[in-house]
Structure 1
């Protein structure tokens, strides 16, 4: 179970504490078990800071605390505080990556059979799509729907999410696309073939949680080979 420690402190020497944290990161490289560290400053009290440190588990947090570098840095940190910091230990019982959930829903929606559902709850109106296979970027909800419709007219398909990572407003998804060629696609008559393709997409999400921009990289050459298009060119 993911474990989070909150360190609440007051200090008028934050610049020194910030440099101290840099030293801890450098000295514990390859040994620390913390996976995420964040420090926030109270907007109503400039001397009040809260540090949030995330670990894979409580046991890993305890292993991290036993590092001699952690113990030494902690003592130096206390000396920089105006008063003794307080610690709150938390087992994470709910952890939602909301932008990642939106992106997953986007991929599921693209593969929906029948009429393409409205995507107003997933995409911003001026959504910007970057696809190296297109001579120009696709910009705007209507243009994006036309692009999606071209793929949906040519194939019945679904995405399998292999890996997904979210950081800030970006979500990176590694996916596998499995499809049946049911209709004309880029001038290729329907073959009925089962085809697949792998790719990675990076999405940027807007502050209101919708997808604002997408960058696609995928193996279209392998897809065209599976459709027999390369065989025709070689004759």
Structure 2
């Protein structure tokens, strides 16, 4: 279970504390078990800071606390605080990366939603960058036409293999499985079952996708359709 520690402190010497944290990051390289660290400043109280440190488990957090480097830095941190910091230990009972969920919904709908519905997932100024096309596709109408072409050529579905999120960005690694039931790039329907693996990097705004960059093995798809390697 993911574990989070909240450190609540007051200090008028945050710049010094920030440099202290930089030193801890450097000194614990290859040793620390913390996976994510965020420090927030209270907008209504400039001397009030909350640090959020994430670990894979409580046991990992304890191993991190027992590092001699952590103990030394902690003593120096306390000296920089205006009062003794408080600690809150939390077992994470729900953790949703909302943009990951939105990306997953997009891929789950691909292949089964009608072309006119693809705009439900996209912003009006959406940009789609696919290296198989000479220029990025801009706007919902353009990507709707592109999607309709794939739908006409294949019955397909995506399987989500992995996802990573950072700020407003999500990278999804996927496997595409399809049956070639219609003309594709001048290739008559073969009835062939085909697969592709790929990754899509996407940026989100207000819960919708505003930008996508695709990477996949189109040459491998053409080889499966018997066009390449003949």
Same-fold call, TM > 0.5?
yes
Instruction: Identify the residue that residue 186 of structure 1 maps to in structure 2.
Output: 185
* Map 1:65-144 → 2, pairs under 5 A: 65-112=65-112, 115-116=114-115, 118-144=117-143
How many residues were matched structurally? 230
Q: Which runs of 4+ in 1 moved over 2 A?
A: none
Distance 1:190 1:154 in 2: 7
Unaligned runs of 5+ in 2: none
Q: CA deviation digits over 1:96-142, x for unaligned, max 9?
A: 000000001111111216x3462343110111000111011100011
Compute the TM-score of the two structures, normalised by the length of structure 1.
Answer: 0.96
* Structure 1 counterpart SS, 2:179: strand
* Structure 1 counterpart SS, 2:144: helix
Is the contact between residue 163 and residue 173 of structure 1 (CA under 8 Å) also seen in structure 2? yes
Instruction: Identify the residue that residue 61 of structure 1 maps to in structure 2.
Output: 61
Q: CA deviation digits over 1:49-77, x for unaligned, max 9?
A: 00000000111101110000000000000
Instruction: Identify the residue that residue 194 of structure 2 maps to in structure 1.
Output: 195
Distance 1:53 1:85 in 2: 14
Distance 1:119 1:41 in 2: 39
Instruction: Identify the residue that residue 172 of structure 2 maps to in structure 1.
Output: 173
Compute the TM-score of the two structures, normalised by the length of structure 2.
Answer: 0.98
Say whether 1:227 aligns with 2:197: no
Instruction: Identify the residue that residue 10 of structure 1 maps to in structure 2.
Output: 10
Is the contact between residue 128 and residue 137 of structure 2 (CA under 8 Å) also seen in structure 1? yes
Report the CA distance between 1:175 and its aligned residue. Answer: 0.8
* Structure 2 counterpart SS, 1:15: helix
Distance 1:137 1:120 in 2: 17
Instruction: Identify the residue that residue 154 of structure 1 maps to in structure 2.
Output: 153
Say whether 1:213 aligns with 2:214: no
Is the contact between residue 115 and residue 145 of structure 2 (CA under 8 Å) also seen in structure 1? no
Is the contact between residue 10 and residue 47 of structure 2 (CA under 8 Å) also seen in structure 1? yes
